[in-house]
Every structure is written in structure tokens, then in C-alpha cells.
Amino acid sequence: MRRARTPLLGVAGAVAAVVLWALAARTWGSTALAGPGETLTAMTGLLRHGDFWSAIGTTLLMAGRGLLGAALLGSVAGMLVGSSTLLSNAVLVPLEFLKPIPPIVLLPIAILVLGPTQVMGEALVFYGCLLPILYTTANGVRETDPVAVQTARSFGLGRWQVLLRVTLPSTSASIGTAVRIAVPHAFAIAVLAGYLGGSPGLGREIADSVVSADTARLFGVVVVLALLGLLVHEVSHLAERRVLHWHPTYRVRAA
Amino acid sequence: MNPGSALTAVGADEGTTDRAGGWTAPPALESRRTPVLEVRAVSKQYGSGRNAVRVLEGLDLRVDAGEVVSLVGPSGISKTTLLKTIAGLQAPTEGEVVVTGRPVAGPPREMALVFQDYGRSLMPWLTVAKNVRMPLRHLDLGKDETARRCSEALTAVGLEDADRKYPWQLSGGMQQRVAIARALAYRPEILVMDEPFASVDAQTRFELEDLTLALRRQFDMTILIVTHDIDEAVYLGDRVVVLGGRPASVSRVLTVDLPRDRHQDTTRADERFVALRTEVLHLIQAPGRSSSPAGVQAPGRDA
Amino acid sequence: MTATATATATRRPAPALSPATRWLARVLVPAALVVAWWFGSAGSTSPYYPPLAEIVTRFRELWLFEQVRSDVVPTLVVLFSGLLIGVALGVVGGLGLARMPTVRATVMPLITFYRALPGIALIPVLVQLFGYGDGVRVGMVVLVALPPTLIATMDGVLGLDATLSDVVRAYGLPRSERLLGVYLPVAGPQVFAGVQVSMQFAFIAAIAVEMVGSTRGIGYQTLLAQQTFASADMWAGVLLLGVVGFGSSAVVRLVRNRLLRWYDGAQAVSRAA
């Protein structure tokens, strides 16, 4: 995405938006719409409470653990599927059916079986991130440079060794990208599990704010969520670049 | 639009042939030697102050009606810049470009362009016929006339059966023919071609060169062709304008006194052809000396 | 991707499976899974995992075609009208942002902020402002479907090839023709990539709004079944949701394949070259 050419314009836009927000709040009345000032107050209030920080931590933990599981299983399964035509064909139909089915569809079952718990949230995150990582990894395997593979084979490396020493490093960029893309998904699913399913964390904070009809608090949590989302996004980009700086894709991209 | 050129086929039996085999235009055509394109003392500079890069300096150029002028020079930014300035896609820093007597302030309607990279200048979501038709839609010609021109243009380049195909289904040479047909249907006063055959293989290049000459004869066209291929420049042109120097200007203008009727096999082996292309080669390789009064030229590190 | 001096194909040619084996793998495996589920759950008394046979029965009773009008249609209407509006706005907005750098610079930080927000969090905000009506539901879907298409369209048009831009100017095409006839088609592949993501988000949003504040819809009924421990009904609802998700994705893909036939064709040609 092209960066804004003039940062000043961007700032002006942001300021204008806040002003519009304040005006809208005044027109609508503070029971329905909290203005920027009240939201800020609510936010600082929340951030002073240890409970809120613990909710943030829980959400991040749910997202992180679910994503970790999905990354592990997804990359291993993806490598197997990508390197075996038979396996590819075998899992094709089930995966194609599951691909367009987001975790929210399974939410009722998850609530029923696991209850409104942290584990339920992790399970949903796991499911939601597994398939994209698997698919991307499998594609990455298929796009491994055939010359590199043949060279390794000609040196007498067996099938598993080729997989480990040639395919895996080459595919790691795809895996890295897939995981990075999955991070905001993981975060969103964790919040969803809380808001609709009752899992602990920021999602539940939202639900609680609605129940207590505290509009300012609701807006405060929403803004915190947005900021957290931005942070998470930036960190995952940085992490990907750091970990995979050696990979040709990154060298090419920097040129 | 040049009314006189509306599809009057100019046969090779008009005009006179002298002893040396040179063909002279019949008197009626001679009197039409008015400049279609004039480049007057054009200079172009990128950036300003300390970072300024002067690419073109005091360039003069002229293309008369019915001529083919080849513009040749070393690879680099100067040919592209000059072309964009002539085409009205860029404004010159100094000087002006005049097309059929009117100064150019933007892409002139009397000019049609054929680009080197046909893959990126043809629209892949349109069929060949629709690609050819596209520029015509704004000339308000009416459906029948538009259709007629398109089929005529496609037939002239030999692609009458390909009208329903997509460009990417055709070979490179055929795609370039589509681009030529598109320019043809537009009926420009002057056709400007930017290294049009550089992206095709040698065989196809010869075919397309001959196609260009045939079309020129058939439709009495005025063509400015920019190329880095010296042989092509001499083969196609009535005159060859050699660019050189840094900043670039016109080194020399050579008249190609070969018969107008050219053939890949005989013409290229002709003594005079060889002499001409050698002279062009030397002009390009040697440090450029401008024929226009632009002062001292820095010796060019021409390739 | 590393450039290889040798073969232009960067995909390893898959060792060919005989068509019979391929068919077997693709059909047999899913069939085997279903059969395993059927017989595995046959005598189940678990409240969580009723027998597949019972699920199928309830599916038939509820959704074929008893509750189609009362629940399926509302869900689909909200989903597709929200998607269409969101995509239309996204395309127009993306075109505008691409061609107006000043506006783009001003608005981009806001868009980035908006995208960082999990869409779910918008639901309570909207509900606070506007209540629980049908319009709110559609509005919610529009709000989540808009950004992916907007950004994709903008990127697609921004990435316009310089040659094409020269051609368009050289032939003097008027602005409307330039935008709609050239820039938009060229960005087509990217626009549709965005639309496919918009579809996924729209689907999630459509279900989510039902689960939050609605009295009808597939999502609502399924959640209700879970809350009242009607397991088989819940599973049936989940299955239907899966079908709707799969179907709506397929619809978008079909539309894309039809409109972008030229692009897929050109890609195939250049890959084979």
C-alpha cells in the first residue's frame, strides 16, 4: 500500500474525523454515542485497572496459543500435502468445503462442548488459522525451485532429507507470510469468541459494556481494540522481516 | 485528417524512375511537401538547480508529408524523452513541437502512436477488433464508418480473421500488427513508432518492416520511426536523423538515396545501403557534434 | 520468488496420478469420512454429538423447506445486499482514492485505523446508535465488506502500467472512458481478490449480527438451538451455514471467472510460454 505522501494531510484528516465525531456525539446525545473526550476518559480509567490489562493479556494469549497450534499443524500438514499428489487429491474436497466456513459457524458447537472458556476461544482461533496456513504452505512447497530439489537428489539425499533441507527452508517464507497474515485473524477470532461466546478477554469486556449500557466504556474498549490491532499488525510485520531476512524474497523486495 | 491520403493507393507505377533506380514522386505529390511535424529547438531538462539533468538540447527535426523518417541514436533516455515530447505526453523545457501547423499542448489528434511493448499497450480484456476500435469511438464517426475502418485496417495488416481473438492469443508479431492496425484505423496525419520491432524476433522484424513499407505505399502515410537498429533505420527511412551527444541533439541528417522499392534480400546487400549504415554507425559511435547552433557539446559516451 | 536461469516453470510438475486414482482419492475420502461419521455416531446418546442420522432428519424437517422463507431468505438478503452495496462503494471509493492523491493522503490513516479494528466490535456500536432493525444488519455487512474491496481496487488502479496510461492519453480518451473502460478492467483481477475477501467478511458479519440481536435468520436459529440444548437442530443449523458459506463463495468465484476470463486466459498463455 502506497504511503501517504504528505503526513500533514493525514494528520489533518485524523483531526477532522475527531472533530466530526465530537459534533456527532453532541447531536446524538451521550447515551447513544460517546464523544472523543468521554471515550478518552473511559479509556484511561480502564487502563488503570489491572483487570483490564489481564483481559488484554487473555485475549492475546488465546490468539497466540491458537495461532501457534495452527502454525505447527498447518505447516507440517501443508508440507505433507504439498509434496504428495495423492494426499493433495485426498484432502481436496474436505478442505475446499471447509475453506469458506469461518469459525463463527462452529461457535455454537464450541460453546456447547467447551463452554464459555479460554480453551473454547483457543480452539476457534486454531480452527480459523489452520486452513489458510495449510493452503499457503502447500502452495509454497509446490513452488519450490525444482532445480534445487533435483540438485539435492543428485547428491543422494533421500526424500525426507530433501523435504527437510531444501523444501522447508524454501517454503519458510510462505509459512512466515501465512502466519503473519493469520495474526489479525487470530486476534479478531479471539475477540469474537469473547463477545458472542462469553470467553474471557476483551470480547467479554465489550459484551459487559453493552449489558451495563455504559456507552463511554464501550467506545473506550473499541478504541483500545483498534490500537491493539494496529500494534499487533506492526509487530507481526517486523517479526516476519526479522526472522526471514535471509530469504531471497525479502532481498528482492528491498531492491 | 489529411483528405488527400484517404485510402488512395499509391501505385509503384506512378512517378518516374531514374537511371540509378531512384524513384521520384510525381509532380502532384512533390507539391505536398509540407511539414507535418516540426520540432523546433526543443530542449528538455529533468529536475532543477544542482540536480538538473539536461537530456535534450536545441533539437530540430522535421517530417514532411509522405515521408518516412528514421530517428536513430544510442540507447538511453534521450530517444524516449524526445518521443514523449513529440507525442505531447511531456512538455519540452524549451522550444516547441508543431504538428500540421499547430503547436502541441497535449497528445495531438493528428498523431497516432505505436509502442514497443505491445503486450502492455493493447488491452487484454478486449478482442482484437475492440482494441482497434477503441480510439475511434471518440471521433464520432458513426457505427458503420467505424466498422468499415476497423475491418479495413485489420485486412491491411493481414489479420482479418483474428478480429474475435484476444491479443494474448496471438504471437508477438501479430500483436504488434494489431497495434499498427489500431493506429491505421485512426487515420493519423503522422504515425509515430517507438522502437516498434525491438520486441520481436529477427524474422518477424523483417516481415513487420516490409508491412510498414507496404502500408506506407498503400495509404501514403507519413511515418516517424524511432529505432536503435541502424539497419532498420536505413532500410525503412527516406531520411535518417542521427541523435547524439549528451545532452542529445541532432548529429546529422542523412538522405537515403536508395530506390523506394526496398527488399530485405537485395537492398540490404546493396553497396549504397552498406555505405549509409556504416556512416550512421560511425556517427553514433563517435562523439556527437550537433548540426544545430547549440554551442559546445560534451563528447558523448555513446555505446 | 527466486529467478531461475533454466526452466521457466516454477512449479514442480506433479507426478501424474492416473485419473482413476485421482477420482478415487477425491471422492472416496470424503465419502469415507461421512460414512465413518454416520456409523460412528449411530448409537450416540451424548448431548453434544447426536447421531448423524438424527441431524439429517432435523435438517430435512427444519430447512427443507419449512423455514426457508422465515430464516434462510432474511439471512441471504442481508448478506447479499450488504455485500453488493459494500463492494460498489469500495470500487467507486478505490477508483477515487487512486486518482486523487490529496484525498488519499488525507484519508489513509483513518482507513488504516478502521481496518485494524476487529469488525465484530462495530456491532455493539451500531446497535447503540441505530437499534436492531434490518437496515442496521445490512449496514453492518456493508461496513465490513467495504474495506477489502476499497483497498484492493485502489492498489489495482495505482499499479497501472505506465505504457497503458500513455496509450490512453495518446488516444485522447475522455475521463469517464479512461476510468471505467481502462483503469477498472486493468485492476479487475485485484478488485476481485478484494471482493472475495469482502465476501468472507460479509458472511461472518451477517451471521454475527443475527446472533447478537435478531429474531430470525439461520444464525439466530442455530444459536437458539444451542442455548436450548437442541443439539441435532444446532448441528443441522451449522451444516446449513456451512452450505451457505460454501455456496456464496462459489457464486463470487463464478462471477469472477466469467468476468475475468480474459485475465485467466492471458495468465495461462504467459505461464506456458
| A61 pLDDT above the threshold of 80 | yes
Beta-bridged to residue B249, according to DSSP, are B244
Classify strands B94-99 and B35-46 as parallel, antiparallel or unpaired.
antiparallel
- Flag if A9 and C124 touch (Cβ within 8 Å): no
Confidence band, pLDDT 50/70/90 cuts, at residue C6: very low
Distance CA C153, CA B23 (A): 56
Average pLDDT along chain A: 87
Distance CA A114, CA B47 (A): 66
The C-alpha cell at B19 is 537511371
Distance CA C40, CA C34 (A): 10
Q: How far is B194 from chain C (nearest CA, A)?
A: 12
pLDDT given for residue B1 in this prediction: 39
> Quick one: A6 and A67 in the same domain?
no
Q: Which residues of C touch A100 (CB under 8 A)?
A: 200, 203, 245-246, 248-250
The C-alpha cell at A222 is 473499541
pLDDT given for residue B177 in this prediction: 94
Confidence band, pLDDT 50/70/90 cuts, at residue B297: very low
| B30 pLDDT above the threshold of 50 | no
Count CB-CB contacts under 10 A for residue C20: 8
pLDDT given for residue B209 in this prediction: 94
| B33 pLDDT above the threshold of 70 | no
Distance CA C164, CA C186 (A): 9
Task: Kindly state the DSSP code that residue B74 receives in the 8-state scheme.
Answer: -
Beta-bridged to residue B72, according to DSSP, are B227, B242
User: Kindly report the CA angle at B155 between B154 and B161, in degrees rounded to 5?
Assistant: 80
Decide: helix, strand or coil at residue B260: coil
pLDDT tens-digit map of C32-61: 888 998 888 888 788 888 888 888 888 888
Count CB-CB contacts under 10 A for residue B264: 13
Average pLDDT along chain C: 87
Dihedral, CA of residue C62, residue C68, residue C71 and residue C75, to nearest 10: 130
Q: How far is B256 from chain C (nearest CA, A)?
A: 30
Helix (H) or strand (E) holding A14: helix A7-28
Distance CA B57, CA B42 (A): 6
Beta-bridged to residue A111, according to DSSP, are none
Beta-bridged to residue C154, according to DSSP, are none
The C-alpha cell at B229 is 537498429
Is there a contact between A140 and A174 (Cβ–Cβ < 8 Å)? yes
For residue C92, the one-letter residue type is V
pLDDT given for residue C90 in this prediction: 96
> Quick one: A29 and A45 in the same domain?
no
Q: How far is A221 from chain C (nearest CA, A)?
A: 9
pLDDT tens-digit map of C148-164: 999 999 999 998 888 88
Mean pLDDT of C67-76: 85
Helix (H) or strand (E) holding C208: helix C184-213
Average pLDDT along chain B: 82
- Flag if A97 and C246 touch (Cβ within 8 Å): yes
Overall size of chain C counted in residues: 273
Interface of C with A in 225-254 (CB under 8 A): 225-226, 229, 231, 234-235, 237-238, 241-242, 245-246, 248-250
> Quick one: A24 and A56 in the same domain?
no
| B11 pLDDT above the threshold of 70 | no
Per the model's pLDDT, the better-predicted residue between C31 and B6 turns out to be C31
> Quick one: A121 and A239 in the same domain?
yes
Beta-bridged to residue B96, according to DSSP, are B40
Classify strands B23-24 and B102-103 as parallel, antiparallel or unpaired.
unpaired
* Predicted TM-score (pTM) of this structure: 0.83
Per the model's pLDDT, the better-predicted residue between C174 and B165 turns out to be B165
> Quick one: A8 and A85 in the same domain?
no
| A3 pLDDT above the threshold of 60 | no
The C-alpha cell at C73 is 431468505
- Flag if A146 and C124 touch (Cβ within 8 Å): no
Q: Do chains C and B touch (3 or more CB pairs under 8 A)?
A: yes
CB-based contact, C61 to chain B, within 8 Å? no
pLDDT tens-digit map of C227-240: 888 888 899 999 99
* Number of independent structural domains in chain A: 2
Q: Give the closest residue to B194 by CA, choosing from B279, B39, B83, B53.
A: B83
The C-alpha cell at B132 is 482497434
pLDDT given for residue C155 in this prediction: 94
Distance CA B180, CA A188 (A): 54
pLDDT given for residue B12 in this prediction: 40
| C266 pLDDT above the threshold of 70 | yes
Distance CA B133, CA B127 (A): 10
Count CB-CB contacts under 10 A for residue A183: 21
CB-based contact, C182 to chain B, within 8 Å? yes
pLDDT tens-digit map of B68-118: 999 998 777 788 889 999 999 989 999 999 999 889 888 998 999 999 888
Angle between helices C231-259 and C184-213 (to 10 degrees): 170
DSSP string of B105-158, one letter each residue: SSS-TTEEEE-S-HHHHS-TTS-HHHHHHGGGGGGT--HHHHHHHHHHHHHHTT
Q: Which residues of A touch C228 (CB under 8 A)?
A: none
Q: Which residues of A touch C10 (CB under 8 A)?
A: 143, 145-146
Hey, what CATH topology would domain C59-272 get?
Answer: MetI-like fold (1.10.3720)
Q: How far is C169 from chain B (nearest CA, A)?
A: 7
Lowest mean pLDDT among B148-162, B165-179, B243-257: B243-257
For residue A99, the chain C residue with the least C-alpha distance is C246
Classify strands B223-227 and B68-72 as parallel, antiparallel or unpaired.
parallel
Angle between helices C218-227 and C231-259 (to 10 degrees): 160
CB-based contact, B201 to chain C, within 8 Å? no
Give the distance from CA B13 to its chain's centroid: 25
Q: Do chains A and B touch (3 or more CB pairs under 8 A)?
A: no
| A251 pLDDT above the threshold of 80 | no
C89 φ, ψ (degrees, to nearest 5): -60, -40
Nearest by CB to C170, which of B107, B168, B169? B107
- Flag if B123 and C161 touch (Cβ within 8 Å): no
Decide: helix, strand or coil at residue A47: helix
CB-based contact, B135 to chain C, within 8 Å? yes
> Quick one: A16 and A126 in the same domain?
no
CB-based contact, C108 to chain A, within 8 Å? yes
A32 φ, ψ (degrees, to nearest 5): -90, -45
Is there a contact between A103 and C39 (Cβ–Cβ < 8 Å)? no
Query: What is this model's ipTM?
Result: 0.85
The C-alpha cell at C17 is 496420478
Q: Which residues of A touch C123 (CB under 8 A)?
A: 195
- Flag if C177 and B135 touch (Cβ within 8 Å): no
For residue B130, the chain C residue with the least C-alpha distance is C181
Number of continuous H segments (helices) and E segments (strands) in chain B: 10, 12
Q: How far is C196 from chain B (nearest CA, A)?
A: 20
Q: Which residues of C touch B137 (CB under 8 A)?
A: 177
Q: Which residue has the cell 432493525?
A: C133
CB-based contact, C264 to chain B, within 8 Å? no
Residue from B118, B168, B180 whose CB has the most chain C CBs within 10 Å, to mutate: B168
Decide: helix, strand or coil at residue C85: helix
> Quick one: A4 and A130 in the same domain?
no
CB-based contact, C273 to chain B, within 8 Å? no
Domain CATH for A106: 1.10.3720.10
CB-based contact, C167 to chain B, within 8 Å? yes
pLDDT given for residue B9 in this prediction: 38
Q: Give the closest residue to C95 by CA, choosing from C52, C33, C55, C154.
A: C154
Confidence band, pLDDT 50/70/90 cuts, at residue A93: confident
- Flag if C119 and A188 touch (Cβ within 8 Å): yes
Per the model's pLDDT, the better-predicted residue between B84 and B295 turns out to be B84
pLDDT tens-digit map of A203-230: 999 999 888 888 889 999 999 999 999 9
- Flag if A104 and C207 touch (Cβ within 8 Å): yes
pLDDT given for residue B97 in this prediction: 93
- Flag if C118 and A206 touch (Cβ within 8 Å): no
Q: How far is A49 from chain C (nearest CA, A)?
A: 21
Overall size of chain B counted in residues: 303
Is there a contact between A123 and A109 (Cβ–Cβ < 8 Å)? no
- Flag if B169 and C265 touch (Cβ within 8 Å): yes
Distance CA B229, CA B22 (A): 24
For residue C151, the chain A residue with the least C-alpha distance is A1
Distance CA B197, CA B176 (A): 8
Give the distance from CA B66 to its chain's centroid: 12
Domain that holds residue A2: 1-33
| C3 pLDDT above the threshold of 60 | no
CB-based contact, B176 to chain C, within 8 Å? no
- Flag if B113 and C177 touch (Cβ within 8 Å): no
Distance CA B110, CA B126 (A): 24
pLDDT given for residue A25 in this prediction: 87
Helix (H) or strand (E) holding B226: strand B223-227
